[in-house]
Amino acid sequence: MKKYLCILFIFLLSAGASFAQKDKKNKEKVSPNTTETSPPSSPESNTSLATDSLGKVRKPLSPEELNKQTVFYNMESALLKADSVYVIDFPQAGYSNLPLKIDKLIHLQALYMGGAGLVEFDDQIATLQNLQILDLKNNNLETLPKGMAQLKNLQKLNLQNNKFKTVPEVISLIPNLEELNLSLNLGLMRQGTIPPELAQLSKLKLLNIEGNMLTKLPESLLNLGNLETLILNVNRLKSIPEFVYGFKKLKVLELKQNGLTQVPEQINALSSLETLNLQRNQLTMLPNAIGQLRKMKSLNLSQNQLNEAPNWLNSLTDLEFLDLSENQLTQLPDLSGLKKLKQLRLNGNKITAEEINRIKNQLGPNTTVSF
């Protein structure tokens, strides 16, 4: 009997060892899509590419791929699938700082916290090494953590409508930033300008500093040689800064409501320009040089003091949108060359019905004329 018990005991030990070995192999085969989370890592240990809980490197997604990802709206659901979270959008207020444990979401590539109630946030943001988009608009931020300089993949930063009194120095240290929105930070009005260090953002393509009541801009910004969009609306510049004419790649220039009284001939240097917004200034005439910008698609001259529309308008053959509303016009020049024009706004002028009909006949049925 003892002999049989010994044999049975040996058999059970052998089976247990075999089961444990199989279980270990199964765990090693966990899919990369598992919901297991990885332990938080310190900023010092992170590189520009994060790894998941299995040690697999995950590269930043393209904008097209990112748009296809599931959006998570709270931390509870995100933490359940930490290795699969790429986009978070917190739609409600109630965060004075970054959420706890957000450092576990190491593959996070887009974080939207607009209107979340943020007053500050700490260096745990530096653990999000794959972050490409950070939207912090409509909060109460006055400073930014130094750890943001470690966000080597960050391309878009939206800081619209916060409480900044000066532009945080760390912004100029984000190496691959392509879009920066600093609009509606009225605290910057005391400075009257922005720091010259922003010129270090050599990859910047879009700069929005609308609505800050700035009176001047540093000449060092000329070093932003890749800039394609410059939004300067609702400031107090009085004249277009000279260095702007050096932006050879500039496609969009917005100067609405700045108190401009003239536009220099040098504007023809902006040969790539497609959109020019001069709305609500104090312009009484315009230079012929604008007529040389043959790539122009959108031109807004509304709410100025123009007595006559320039003849060179007809040479802007790629023009699709033209706004001449709220001026002092009584007639228009020949516009028959504007074959691509989709919308013409003439409201608030003194143009007769007969003149309107003449223009409509020139432009044809594909152009909407409002008057």
Q: Rounded to an integer, what distance in angstroms lies between the CA atom of residue 228 and that of residue 244?
A: 11
Q: How many residues belong to the chain?
A: 371
Q: Which is more confident, 29 or 220? A: 220
Architecture of domain 58-154: Alpha-Beta Horseshoe (3.80)
Q: What is the dihedral of CA 247, 253, 259, 264, to 10 degrees?
A: 50
For the stretch 324-363, pLDDT in tens is 999 999 999 999 999 999 999 999 999 999 999 999 999 9
For the stretch 45-77, pLDDT in tens is 334 555 555 445 578 899 999 999 999 999 999
> Which residues pair with residue 369 across a beta bridge?
344
Q: Rounded to an integer, what distance in angstroms lies between the CA atom of residue 222 and that of residue 125?
A: 31
What Cα–Cα distance (Å) separates residue 105 from each residue in 44, 137, 356?
17, 21, 60
The pTM of this model reads: 0.85
Q: Rounded to an integer, what distance in angstroms lies between the CA atom of residue 276 and that of residue 318?
A: 13
Structure tokens at 281: 């200034």
For the stretch 220-278, pLDDT in tens is 999 999 999 999 999 999 999 999 999 999 999 999 999 999 999 999 999 999 999 99
> Given the DSSP bridges, would you call strands 368-370 and 252-254 parallel, antiparallel or unpaired?
unpaired
Range from 25-34, 97-106, 311-320 that averages highest in pLDDT: 311-320
